[in-house]
Amino acid sequence: MTHTEAGPISWRDLPIRDDLRGLSPYGAPQLDVPVLLNTNENPYPPPPELIADLGTAVAAAAAGANRYPDRDAVELRKDLASYLGHGLTGSQLWAANGSNEVIQQILQCFGGAGRSALGFEPSYTMHRLISLATGTRWIAERRDADFGLDPDAAVAAIEHHRPDVVFLTSPNNPTGTAAQRELVEAIVDAAPGMVVIDEAYAEFFRPGTPSALRLLPGRPRLIVTRTMSKAFAMAGARVGYLAADPAVIDALLLVRLPYHLSVFTQAVARTALAHVDALLGTVDAVKAQRDRIVAELTAMGLHVVPSDANFVCFALARDGAERADEKAVWRALLDRGVLVRDVGLPGMLRVTAGTPEETGAFLNALKEIL
């Protein structure tokens, strides 16, 4: 904070854009407590073989670090295409520093001044925040009471607002709800502009839940975003990506910053992808803890939202009981060393599936509190 003769000044005193004044920065608490179950990371660190290979790959990248990296990350995009399958090629993939940056590039390209983006809330709050930061008007439509979305209602909202970009998160954050094929098809058919299916948590889908990747052929306005921050256990590396028609990627080249993905990031991502089996080997363990949370909270009489992700959203009040104060329970869990997420839904909290020990610590603490 800068001090002037009149005292300290805040960002509000600066000549900031008027449309940013009412906003608050993204701010999931980063606290040093034993059990971190608030940002949907994979609880398992990268395996030792990968850590060793990462060291070698980063050293090799360092040897050429006097030169700019491959601006188009061609090799990484090929690797991502072969990971995703579905007959995709590198020309249909794009990567950036986290899927947040991918989303920002999409909005810079297809949103912006005089344009609008529509999302179905509650959902990932950065869709709204990045829309506003790029000057895109945000249109909030509601999900159903059980956090699902009826295709007819979604189509009616899109036909009414005619947004330039539609966001649909599947599995949805913070609720864990997955979108069925008919819903995605109906939205793409109705939308006049681009449709972004945010599949950050797709690797945690329950069996039979479909990915929107299979809908890409013949739908050039559909974009599926993914990330290495969740199932891949690489949140610290900051790598997100999308799959879409090659024309979409050509359009994004207009707004991406030159050399946005460092030589180190590209090397780390490619090395991680070479260890895909070991990395994704933890997914079943995480899903088992997710299912354990659902089962145990249900047995406690709590209302739990079915989850296709690596987290669970639940109501604190037992059936028929008065609504519990989620802020008080969040605090009481923190006092017991367990950090979960207050997602702004009255009477509800969200918890990430951790290791069996972390999950057990959460469940025991919650039983004690309720």
339 binds ligand PMP (CB under 6 A): no
169 binds ligand PMP (CB under 6 A): yes
Cβ closest to ligand PMP, residue 196 vs residue 324: 196
Within 215-244, which residues bind ligand PMP (CB under 6 A)? 227, 229, 235, 240
Span of 97-105, 113-121, 263-271, 325-333 interacting with ligand PMP by CB under 6 A: 97-105
**Rounded to the nearest whole angstrom, what is the least distance from the CB of residue 229 to ligand PMP in the complex?**
3
Structure letter (DSSP) for residue 313:
E
| N residues, the chain | 370
211 binds ligand PMP (CB under 6 A): no
Span of 55-63, 92-100, 254-262, 277-285 interacting with ligand PMP by CB under 6 A: 92-100
Question: Residue for token digits 């659902």?
Answer: 294
Q: How many helices (H) and strands (E) does the chain have?
A: 12, 14
Cβ closest to ligand PMP, residue 192 vs residue 236: 236
**Tokens of residue 344, six digits:** 């702004």
Among 120, 124, 138, 205, interactor with ligand PMP by CB under 6 A: 124
Is the CB of residue 245 less than 8 Å from the CB of residue 215? Answer: no
Is the CB of residue 267 less than 8 Å from the CB of residue 57? Answer: yes
Q: Which amino acid is present at 294?
A: V
**C-alpha to C-alpha distance for 362 and 368, rounded to whole angstroms:** 10
**Tokens of residue 75, six digits:** 């090799």
198 binds ligand PMP (CB under 6 A): yes
173 binds ligand PMP (CB under 6 A): yes
**Tokens of residue 297, six digits:** 């909270």
**Rounded to the nearest whole angstrom, what is the least distance from the CB of residue 333 to ligand PMP in the complex?**
20
352 binds ligand PMP (CB under 6 A): no
Name the residue among 276, 328, 20, 314 with its Cα closest to residue 174.
314
Q: Cα 254 to chain center, whole Å?
A: 24
Structure letter (DSSP) for residue 321:
S
Among 38, 42, 92, 99, interactor with ligand PMP by CB under 6 A: 99
204 binds ligand PMP (CB under 6 A): no
**C-alpha to C-alpha distance for 204 and 187, rounded to whole angstroms:** 23
Q: Which amino acid is present at 38?
A: N
Within 267-326, which residues bind ligand PMP (CB under 6 A)? none
122 binds ligand PMP (CB under 6 A): no
Chain residues in the site for ligand PMP (CB under 6 A)? 40, 98-100, 124, 169, 173, 198, 200, 227, 229, 235, 240
